[in-house]
Amino acid sequence: MNADLRKINDLDRLIHEPARLMIVTILSAVESADFLYLQHETGLTRGNLSAHLSKLEEAGYVKIEKTYKGKLPLTVCKLTATGQKALNGYRRQLQQFMAATTG
Amino acid sequence: MNADLRKINDLDRLIHEPARLMIVTILSAVESADFLYLQHETGLTRGNLSAHLSKLEEAGYVKIEKTYKGKLPLTVCKLTATGQKALNGYRRQLQQFMAATTG
């Protein structure tokens, strides 16, 4: 059992953080999402969402484009191929852990 | 989807931390375990394991008894009923999240 167990310690902690797991999960289901949509879906505060998006952007998991919709600023977020791969790997690791262990 | 998603933000963060998830998972499978056994199974350093156990003890999830085996000190750890319930709840929440979402 301990080999399966120890793998949990190698989980991608960037994605393991619940707020960021929400964000990448939402982004994996859509082509792109703007900041307000993400805020609405996640229930995160503006500051929290912004901080988590920055970390995901730094890691290359999310691409953020600041643009305009008419005169209003619009922040468009997109999961990158790297981010999608990281999310897939994370989910796989978690599933393996859950299957290999019981409560 | 967002109701299921948001639930992930309510996860018990004490258990969500991978090292602590390892510890409670091991303890849930045995009657009790001593410190050295836990260190061996988890691969954690003495200091890390000790710090995580303290947090789990503070939360009432783990009971720790310091005793002796002959002249050698022995630290015996046990998952409490509260800890078992928290682990069960955590696993259930995680399973629901995984079922409700895809990568």
Residue pLDDT, tens place only, B39-87: 999 999 999 999 999 999 999 999 999 999 899 989 999 999 999 999 9
pLDDT at residue A83 greater than cutoff 80? yes
Contact A22, B5 (CB under 8 A): yes
pLDDT at residue B103 greater than cutoff 70? no
Distance between CA atoms of residues B21 and A8, nearest Å: 8
Spell out which residues of chain A touch residue B16, defining contact as CB-CB under 8 Å: 16, 18
CB count within 10 Å of CB B2 equals: 12
Mark yes or no for CB contact B9/A95 under 8 Å: no
Spell out which residues of chain B touch residue A16, defining contact as CB-CB under 8 Å: 16, 18
pLDDT at residue A4 greater than cutoff 60? yes
pLDDT at residue B9 greater than cutoff 90? no
Task: Please tell me which residue, A69 or A4, carries the higher pLDDT value.
Answer: A69
Spell out which residues of chain B touch residue A19, defining contact as CB-CB under 8 Å: 9
Helix (H, G, I), strand (E, B) or coil at A25: helix
Mark yes or no for CB contact A42/B94 under 8 Å: no
pLDDT attached to residue A6: 85
Closest CA of chain B from A68, distance in Å: 26
Closest CA of chain A from B18, distance in Å: 5
pTM value is: 0.90
Q: What confidence category does residue B2 fall into, taking pLDDT thresholds of 50, 70 and 90?
A: low
DSSP secondary structure, A56-85, as one string: HHHTTSEEEEEEEETTEEEEEEEE-HHHHH
Helix (H, G, I), strand (E, B) or coil at A45: coil
CA distances from B72 to B14, B41, B51, B76 (A): 31, 21, 21, 13
- Span B11-39, pLDDT tens digits: 999 999 999 999 999 999 999 999 999 99
Q: Which helix (H) or strand (E) holds B76?
A: strand B72-79
Q: Provide the ipTM.
A: 0.86
pLDDT at residue B1 greater than cutoff 60? no
DSSP secondary structure, B34-74, as one string: EHHHHHHHH---HHHHHHHHHHHHHTTSEEEEEEEETTEEE
Q: What confidence category does residue A47 fall into, taking pLDDT thresholds of 50, 70 and 90?
A: very high
A85's tokens = 């791969």
% pLDDT > 70, chain B: 97
- Span A88-99, pLDDT tens digits: 999 999 999 999
B1's tokens = 């989807």
Query: Mean pLDDT throughout A42-52?
Result: 96
A29's tokens = 């289901």
Distance between CA atoms of residues B45 and A22, nearest Å: 31
- CB burial of residue A70 (10 Å; 0-12, 13-18, 19+): exposed
pLDDT attached to residue B40: 94
pLDDT attached to residue B88: 97
